[in-house]
Amino acid sequence: MVRDGREILSSVVSSQVDIHRKFGGVVPELACRCHIQNILPVIDVALAEAGVELTQIDTIAVTNRPGLIGALLVGLTAAKTLCAVTGIPLVALDHVACHLYSTHMTHPGIAMPCVGLVVSGGHTHLYLCRDHFRRELLGGTQDDAAGEAYDKVACILELGYPGGKPIDDLARQGNPKAIHFKRAFLNREELDFSFSGIKTGVLYHVRGQNVGSSRRTPKRPIRTPKPKPTTSTADVAASFQAAVVDILVGKTLQAVRHSKAGSVVVAGGVAANSRLREVMCERCSAEGVEAFFPELRLCTDNAAMVAGLGYHYALCGKIASLSVDAAARIS
Ligand code: KG4
Ligand code: ZN
């Protein structure tokens, strides 16, 4: 429940982390089933915490793309049904645009156009954001998203799921220069990313092979007995994080130079990363550009950012038809 695009009256997040943890990642069928069970209770709590009746609501905003199609359909069907029975207008939004908008909820008045980096479990993409409605894709990951790499590396290091926060915490005690993991694509002109190589580098290191170097072939096949690595898990976490942060910041600065934008917004679950926040702000400021992050509770998935952007869509009359569909991908 959000008033005027910014004031959060209530923000209810029903996390499914405990359900997916034992599988080491999101299981789509379980996610959809849990959405069905949770959607109505969550709406009730959001209304109650805000002290608002359904009839007092001006607009219902929903994200209908991109993502897990079953989960999107549950949210979209709930929103459409509420709109159909109450007559409240519907706004249907792109999830990535909502992440980008979350930064503007925390920092109103960011100059646009700006460079937007969306970095989460499903996305690592750079945009030139012209305003809240228009953006151009500048580049994106060719394989894993950065958050996905965090989750997979945390699994290798047995730090649990989701892996971003435990790696972030452990990295503080390690040496970021202990192992050099290759910064893929960093010296290329294209604004694309690749994180699967770092993940493999960590795997080889932990198995005692090839210590994260850029050599393509490991010295030993992957299943041979492993010598004990000489570096600690904290060093691996710190070195992995240093590589990811270097890539994310380096590519974002390339996008800034390319677009000549004066500000950078970073959003999505990985925007909660403490080292990314530090390094991005430092290096942007050294180039005369300001970097902005959402407050922590708005980094990971939440409905407040959807309601916030929905306000601007409704103001401009961008109302969706009740026949609007969900889309797993953006075409
Ligand atoms: O935006 P989000 O909640 O869901 C997606 O749309 O994907 O992002 C979740 C991702 C997970 O991969 C999680 O490990 C990562 O964000 N994450 C972090 C941190 N907190 C969450 N990654 C790095 N550092 C963190 N502190
Ligand atoms: Zn998200």
Q: Mind listing the pLDDT tens digit for each residue in 80-101?
A: 999 999 999 999 999 999 999 9
Flag whether pLDDT at 214 surpasses 60: no
Per-residue pLDDT averaged across 270-289, rounded?
98
* pLDDT for residue 247: 97
- Return the HEC string of the chain: CEECCCEECCCCCCCCHHHHHCCCCCCHHHHHHHHHHHHHHHHHHHHHHHCCCHHHCCCEEEEEECCCHHHHHHHHHHHHHHHHHHCCCEEEEEHHHHHHHHHHHHCCCCCCCEEEEEECCCCEEEEEECCCCCEEEEEEECCCCHHHHHHHHHHHCCCCCCCHHHHHHHHCCCCCCCCCCCCCCCCCCCCCECCHHHHHHHHHHHCCCHHHCCCCCCCCCCCCCCCCCCCCHHHHHHHHHHHHHHHHHHHHHHHHHHHCCCEEEEECHHHHCHHHHHHHHHHHHHCCCEEECCCHHHCCCCCHHHHHHHHHHHHCCCCECCCCCCCCCCC
Residue with CA at minimum distance from ligand 1 atom 22: 164
* pLDDT(219) > 70: no
* Confidence band for 70, pLDDT divided at 50, 70 and 90: very high
- Determine the distance separating the centroid of ligand 1 and the alpha carbon of 21, expressed in angstroms: 14
Distance 100 CA to ligand 2 centre (A): 10
The closest of 91, 36, 38, 37 to 61, measured between CA atoms, is 91
Ligand 2 centre distance from Cα of residue 9 (Å): 21
pLDDT at position 270 is 98
pLDDT tier at 331, thresholds 50, 70, 90: low
Ligand 1 binding pocket mutation candidate from 63, 118, 150, 198 (most atoms within 8 A of CB)? 150
- Give mean pLDDT, residues 309-322: 98
What integer best gives the mean pLDDT of the chain?
93
Task: Give the pLDDT of residue 222.
Answer: 54
Q: Are 65 and 330 spatial neighbours (Cβ–Cβ below 8 Å)?
A: yes
Share of the chain above pLDDT 90, in %: 88
**What pLDDT sits at residue 142?**
96
- pLDDT value, residue 192: 97
The yes-or-no verdict on residue 215 having pLDDT over 50 is no
Q: What pLDDT sits at residue 330? A: 75
pLDDT of 277 over the 60 cut: yes
Mean pLDDT value of segment 261-265: 97
